[in-house]
Structure 1
Amino acid sequence: MGPVKTVDKLTVTFLVDNSIEWFTKLPPGFTHEMRVHLSEHDPPIDPITGAPVLDLEKYCCGAHGFSALIETQIEGSDPHLVLFDTGPDSRSIARNVVSMKVPIERVERVIISHWHSDHSGGLLSFLRLYQEATKAQINKGNATQPCVADLHPDRPYARGIAPLGKVVAQVDPGPTFDAIRKVGGVVETHPEGHTVADGTVYVSGEIPRVTSFENGLLGGMKWVGDVQIKQGEWVPDEDIVDERYAAVDVAGKGLVIFSACSHAGIVNVVRDAVEKFQRPIYMIIGGLHLASPDLTDRIEPTVDFLANKLRPAPMYVLPMHCSGFASKIALERALGEGCVPTGTGIRVVVDGQRNLESQGGFMTPPTIAS
């Protein structure tokens, strides 16, 4: 793994999430979807009233899944765009990419956090859009590159849910490697941690499990066997070891962590990032995997770690996707406005501060209380 470069600017656009947030108060640097449309997307003007029209046919939709467009920039260099997950289906990612006017042809890479279809289901749809966008660029005489699909190599044939020991539903892991190649994607498999986007985005390897209360996906199963002869069996798969997180280091701010589903536990994710980089955690983004009733007992120790044991505490936590209502209430109680209600269509800009890097206090490594 090469060194992770500190960036001067990070821009995140949420393209798929379970929630739509239009009216909640947001901190500086956060922008609601409606404001983006009205100020940047040339909304239609009513010929009689002269007022811009909220054309809701062109706004984002929510879906059970996650996708975030990550743009990193070092001053004096070109920005890099990568997509972290693609949501659950072909329709939500396609609609929302168009809605937010994403420059699709500039996306260098799609990182799939793990093999569950609510994170990988929109991959082929996005790659088809990418092919269309690059063909348009080629017709204009511009050079293009194929989009890389950054994947964990261990894609199971199927995953299942067995809350009482019997599989009650099968979960599609996402498209096969062959299907990805057929729509023009370049398959890269990485079981280990590595950097992408010219070293500005870190993608983890397997997340070490060290906490006593974060025990993976309860009732998780996967199918193993010989697909050709249609023989095999369901085996326990609670750890979801193919899960990976991403991180960006912003100058003078610290790490921004992207944890799409946190099957490994968000505390384990944060501990791993702190140990690897010895940098403060500025922002935690994504699903915290605390929504279902059988995970309620994980909420208190998770919130206690983020609010009290990690020092300095993160400036912002954005609980999304599978975090659940109860965890959001608990995080808001502990962190106040540091718990930010975020959803599809919201944009976040984190501006770095290089001058703070020279101040010794900022460089003090974070600590974790026992």
Structure 2
Amino acid sequence: MTSRRDVLRHLTLAGLVLPFASTRLASAAAPHRPARRRVGQLRITILSTMLADEGIGEWGFGALVEVDGRRLLFDTGAHDDVVARNARELKVSLDTVPEVVLSHFHADHTSGLVALRRDVAPRQPMALARAHVAEGIFAPRVRDGDPTDYNEMNRVRPQYEAAGGAFVVHGAPTQIHPGVWLTGPVPRRNPERNWSVGARPTRVQRGGQLAEDTVPDDMAMIVDTDQGLVVLTGCGHAGVVNIIEYAREVVRPAPVHALIGGIHLFNASEQTLAWTEQKLRGFGVRHLIGAHCTGVETVYRFRQSLGLDRAHCVVGAVRQVFDLATGIRAGVIAR
């Protein structure tokens, strides 16, 4: 088994990781702002969501991001084997993917992390060895009158580190590669409540106090291109409008060339949907892949309200591809 120390040493020599010794590898004090450069090549392949042209569907999300010669895995699905099985069926190798981005702590986005790392490490010690997360992802989640920590990431964390993985915690927007940004925690300036509340909702421990769990660790990936911003979300619990406004503030105030992933509007009210679609029209969204928790009816509604067509707005499905040069390859079932 490759040790975490060996992985960190190899990644450092490869110029992939700063040589910190702790899990908290990225500073939360201020954004890292290297020279701005836009992405020229981008391809996003969906590996986990409910519908599937090939492979297996599930209530979860995962996507392979290939950008200017780099490869990243964004989220790891709801079951520990679905992303791996779908990748094999689609003949997509994860052995040359050094980095993972986890959009937030929920198990339908993180369950595959440890199994995927254990699978690839014997063949390629640097594969899936670095996981980017937002500050707050490890905060305990409890229910009133129950001291149990319901945050599964606090069980995933020691297993992933024992398998040689290292977490990079982002407390602020960070450009992890030229033109590729992670938002870190997103300010909640608009009153979007894009998270599920069950009969016994969890509460999050922050600063020694218990507060409503608004999924404060929700994080999106923003890719800056000449055509505009490409926004990739897991569930968009921070609110899709909050995410895009923050991206336009942090990266640049460009139109949204593509919005891809889950935006948690499957159970939204008519008022919320009307407000959201009006905001999305203002952002100039040109392509939309509504996967996971977006809602099938929501996607069809947005197709009409945003003035898009079947080539530019589809329900997300396994095997589906967004390519910066050619647009959406929807497959069969999602059209």
* TM-score (norm: length of structure 2): 0.76
Residue of 95, 99, 117 corresponding to 2:107: 117
1:264 aligns with 2:238: yes
Q: Which amino acid aligns with 1:151?
A: V
8 Å CA contact 1:113, 1:260 repeated in 2: yes
Q: Could you list the per-position Cα deviations for residues 182-203 of structure 1 after superposition, in whole angstroms to 9, with x for gaps in the alignment?
A: 122122222221122x324211
Question: For 1:132, what is the secondary structure of its paired residue?
Answer: coil
Contact 1:108/1:148 (<8 A) preserved: yes
Contact 2:100/2:132, CA 8 A, preserved across alignment:
yes
Deviation string for 1:225-262 (max 9, x for gaps)? 9xxxxxx99x44342111110011123x1110011111
Residue of structure 1 equivalent to 2:193 = 215
The equivalent position to 1:94 in structure 2, one of 81, 84, 101, is: 84
Equivalent residue number for residue 61 of structure 2: 66
The 3-state SS of whatever aligns with 1:351 is coil
The one-letter code sitting in structure 2 at the alignment partner of 1:181 is E
1:329 equivalenced with 2:300 (yes/no): yes
Give the Cα separation in 1 of the matches to 2:56 and 2:128.
Answer: 28
Deviation readout 1:290-315 (Å, 9 max, x if unpaired): 112x64531111111112x33xx111
Deviations 1:103-127 (A, max 9, x none): 2221121011111111111111111
Aligned partners of 1:4 and 1:200 also within 8 Å: yes
Asked if 1 retains the 8 angstrom alpha-carbon contact of 2:194 and 2:265, the reply is: no
The amino acid of 2:40's aligned partner reads: D
CA distance, structure 1, for counterparts of residue 187 and residue 134 of structure 2: 16
Partner of 1:282: 257
Return the alpha-carbon distance in structure 2 between the equivalents of residues 291 and 262 of structure 1: 12
1:349 aligns with 2:329: no
Larger C-alpha radius of gyration, 1 or 2?
1
C-alpha change, 1:84 and 1:344, in structure 2 (3 Å) is same
Q: Is the 8 A contact 2:135 2:184 kept in 1?
A: no
Deviation per residue, 1:142-177 (Å, 9 max, x gap): xx56721112242133466x9xxx9xxx67347432
> Please, which moves more after superposition, 341-350 or 112-121?
341-350
Q: Structure 1 residue 206: deviation in Å? A: 1.6
SS in 1 for 2:120: helix
Aligned to 1:254: 228
Aligned residues: 284
Output the CA distance in 2 between the equivalents of 1:186 and 1:192.
19
Moved more, 277-286 or 186-195: 186-195
Distance 1:180 1:306, change over 3 A: same
Structure 2 counterpart of 1:152, one-letter code: A
Unaligned regions of 5+ residues in structure 2, if any? 1-31, 327-335
Matched, 1:188 2:188: no
SS at match of 1:262: coil
Using the alignment, how far apart are the partners of 1:96 and 1:9 within structure 2? 23
Residue 117 of structure 2: aligned partner:
127
Q: Which amino acid is 1:91 matched to? A: D
After superposition, where does 1:1-370 map in structure 2 within 5 Å?
1=32, 2-20=34-52, 22=53, 59-73=54-68, 79-134=69-124, 144=126, 147-154=129-136, 155-158=138-141, 172-173=152-153, 175-196=155-176, 198-212=177-191, 214-219=192-197, 220-222=201-203, 224=205, 235-251=210-226, 253-276=227-250, 277-292=252-267, 295-307=269-281, 309-310=282-283, 313-335=284-306, 336-337=308-309, 338-351=312-325
Unaligned runs of 5+ in 1: 23-58, 74-78, 136-143, 226-231, 353-370
Higher helix share: 1
After superposition, the CA RMSD in angstroms is: 2.8
TM-score by length of 1: 0.70
